Amino acid sequence: MKQNQKERAGKWARRALGITALLTGSAVALAAHAEDKAPVRIGIVTSLSGVFAAQGTEVSRGVQFAVAEANAKGGIDGRKVDAQVSDDESTPDAGRRVAEKLARSGYNLLTGAVPSSIPLAIVQNLDRWDALYFTVASKSDRLTGDSCRARQFRTSHSDAMDLAMISQWTKEFKEKNFAIMGADYVWGRDSGESFQRAIQAQGKTVSLALYAPMGTKDFSPYIAQLKASKAEAIWVAEVGGDAIAFIKQAREFGLIPAKKLIGHALIMNFVVNATGDALENVVGTTTYGPEIDTPLNKAFVAAWKARYNRTPTDNEAQGYNGAQVIFEGVRKSASVKPVDIEKALDGDAFDTIYGKVTMRAKDHQLMLPNYVAQVKKVDGVLRPVVIEQFPASLTPPASPLCKM
């Protein structure tokens, strides 16, 4: 009897060991299968030095936050997300060089540059590198115009979108006489000239238009002219360190608050942070605000606050949103191959921190709402706060110059 019991016990022990081995083997097989899935490799090409370093650092932080968040949730489509960052030095030559190195190393889902000159240098090489490029902060219409590529997607606002909104927004202005202070390169002049057309179409006047070369350190000659003008308000289209220098000197020489400023891409978080309270109450265009009332944005802001104890900046949000578009392409295509992701995103409609949006098939421009903000103190900190939203339907049609 005891012998039979021992035999039965041994039999059940062997069976249990067999089941354990089977389960362990299955788990190992499943893990191996997950590891067999190619990772999502993102190459962040952005400015960590040079004139756009402040913006580039923020964009990179936003992308990397999205990567860490995705990996904490098990990855994208069961794939680990890996990101590598390279400094484009704020120049097109360096940007193209490091982008090629990243792409040829397998990090061929590229993103992150700030000035439009850098993606314009990158996108013409995408077929050769077998890569995609996701524009998250560059506004030049050429990227969705004569330089558009099937392998390039813009996940942020274009100049044309901003200027279409500006035409509507300026109808609200009570002032009659304006001046322009713009950066003397394509974006600054496009901004100033478009503003002037919009104002003149309303029977109002632009009595002075000034354009300062990029890298200007001394704005005093321009400020003197602006102070002497009869303008009631000044349209300001300066960027980066130039914007900070202008605002600081405008405050020092009494241009503000004597004259009202209206900004195009002026009241960015890093500019507000660098200029004390000089921009308080100033209104201008903005790309993002933590108060945007969508489920995904609320979740993003909450997660960001938990990590950094503050709200995300405009550039950080643009980097984060660009990464989310990459993830959408990977999920929908069930692939990390650029050709598959490109096809999946072409004309795709999906949820973002901005709400439900569509990636326009004709030029790969993400159709986003536009925003106006005012610099206000929130929880003791000055930052741009969204005060008005304009619908994505204002976006002009795709340029006929875009031939994808």
Domains (ranges, CATH) in the chain? 40-157+290-368 (3.40.50.2300), 161-286 (3.40.50.2300)
Residue of 317, 315, 401, 323 whose CA lies nearest to 363: 401
Residue pLDDT, tens place only, 135-188: 999 998 999 999 999 999 999 999 899 989 988 999 999 999 999 999 998 788
Tokens of 324: 């989310």
pLDDT given for residue 33 in this prediction: 45
Residue pLDDT, tens place only, 27-66: 344 344 445 799 999 999 999 999 899 999 999 999 999 9
Q: Using alpha carbons only, what angle is made at residue 131 by residues 126 and 133, rounded to the nearest 5 degrees?
A: 80
Global confidence as pTM: 0.88
Half-sphere exposure of 34 (CA within 13 A, CB side): 13
Distances (CA, A) of 54 to 23, 60, 102, 274, 366: 52, 10, 22, 10, 25
Please give the Cα distance from 294 to 304 (Å, whole number).
15
Q: What is the pLDDT along the chain (404 residues), one digit of tens a residue?
A: 444 444 444 444 444 334 334 334 443 443 444 457 999 999 999 999 998 999 999 999 999 999 999 999 999 999 999 999 999 999 999 999 999 999 999 999 999 999 999 999 999 999 999 999 999 999 989 999 999 999 999 999 998 999 899 889 999 999 999 999 999 987 889 899 989 999 999 999 999 999 999 899 999 999 999 999 999 999 999 988 899 999 999 999 999 999 999 999 999 999 999 999 999 999 999 999 999 999 999 999 999 999 999 999 999 999 999 999 999 999 999 999 999 999 999 999 999 999 999 999 999 999 999 999 999 999 999 999 999 999 999 999 999 999 98
Please give the Cα distance from 351 to 360 (Å, whole number).
14
Are the C-beta atoms of residues 111 and 63 closer than 8 Å to each other?
Answer: yes
DSSP code at position 156: S
Are the C-beta atoms of residues 10 and 83 closer than 8 Å to each other?
Answer: no
pLDDT given for residue 35 in this prediction: 52
Helix H or strand E segment including 227: helix 220-228
